[in-house]
A and B are shown apart, each in its own frame.
Chain A
């Protein structure tokens, strides 16, 4: 609501839920709950990182061969895209704390947009992989057939990036739904901490990719 001086700040707060006895308790519980969830997500991806590491130990040459045929530059661009999206998400959090609703919505949409760009680039990458016969799990000719163990690392690449992609699709969907919620009047007055808690999740998706990119595309070259 703009007043005569042109302020864009709206009231910021939290609506107390029935089971809690104070708003601080509610905020802290929500933050702790999200961190507990992120703990499980880390352990989930860790299994895949372990597979990659074991393959590196068992078949170092095959893993290097597989890595050099992955789309390094698309991966690097995607990492930059996610880092940008982390910046816009931080912007959404900052503006939500200040009560600048429209700016916040802009930041959230930008974040969703950047996440979608990542997905588009990833889809393009998969399309290129398909064209270059780098999909050994399909019953098709495989580019690196002479090195039979190389397909293991390539398959791990697909499972890892596929799972990350699923998380990103889910993340963008939830973000768009949250943006719609946040566009309703008085959202920031009652539910500001949802932006903070969601922001943690988005940063974590970025964090996982920051680990995935070197593990799959860089370290084994």
Chain B
């Protein structure tokens, strides 16, 4: 591998490497919270951390930020539809 190629590779691998570290850190936070349960509302923080991990994978690893609007719309629609399914079912279960 030439010197140029090595530099190019390292430059291109920077984003995946940072993402990797960020995901592991977020995971560690969740694990620590789950193992120690320091306060009553810990699950809210855990849920937020999970959402951050999901967004990181979607936006960075799956490169949605670089994709055209159509792809972004498709990925958003999926989660939105899950919200519909959850929301309307919960209307039943939370009001029984």
Contacts and interface: CB of A to CB of B under 8 A. Distances in A.
Nearest to B22: A83
Contact of B54 (A38, A76, A84, A210): A210
A35 B93 contact: no
B27 A83 contact: yes
A9 B33 CA distance: 45
A204 B30 contact: no
A217 interface: yes
Contacts of B1: 6-8, 100
Contact of A83 (B23, B47, B89, B93): B23
A199 to B, nearest CB: 8
B16 A36 contact: no
Contacts of A214: 30, 34, 46-47, 49-50
A7 B2 contact: yes
Contacts, number: 130
A87 B20 contact: yes
B57 to A, nearest CB: 5
B58 interface: yes
A46 B49 CA distance: 19
Contacts of A95: 9
A91 B13 CA distance: 7
A220 B43 CA distance: 7
A91 B85 CA distance: 36
A178 interface: no
Interface in B11-40: 12-13, 16-17, 19-20, 23-24, 27, 30-31, 33-35, 37
Interface residues on B, range: 35 or more
Nearest to A45: B82
A210 B53 contact: yes
A53 B86 contact: yes
Contacts of A220: 43
A159 interface: no
A43 B82 contact: yes
A147 B7 CA distance: 59
Contacts of A152: none
A36 B20 CA distance: 26
A214 B30 CA distance: 8
Contact of A98 (B5, B78, B79): B5
Nearest to B67: A31
A100 B4 CA distance: 13
8 contacts: A32-B70, A32-B74, A43-B85, A57-B90, A57-B94, A83-B27, A206-B61, A214-B34
Interface of A: 5-9, 28, 31-32, 35-36, 38-39, 42-43, 46-47, 49-50, 53-54, 57-58, 72, 76, 79-80, 83-84, 86-87, 90-91, 94-95, 97-98, 100, 103, 200, 203-204, 206-207, 210-211, 213-214, 217-221
Which 4 pairs from chain A and chain B are nearest by CB?
A90-B16, A218-B34, A87-B20, A39-B78
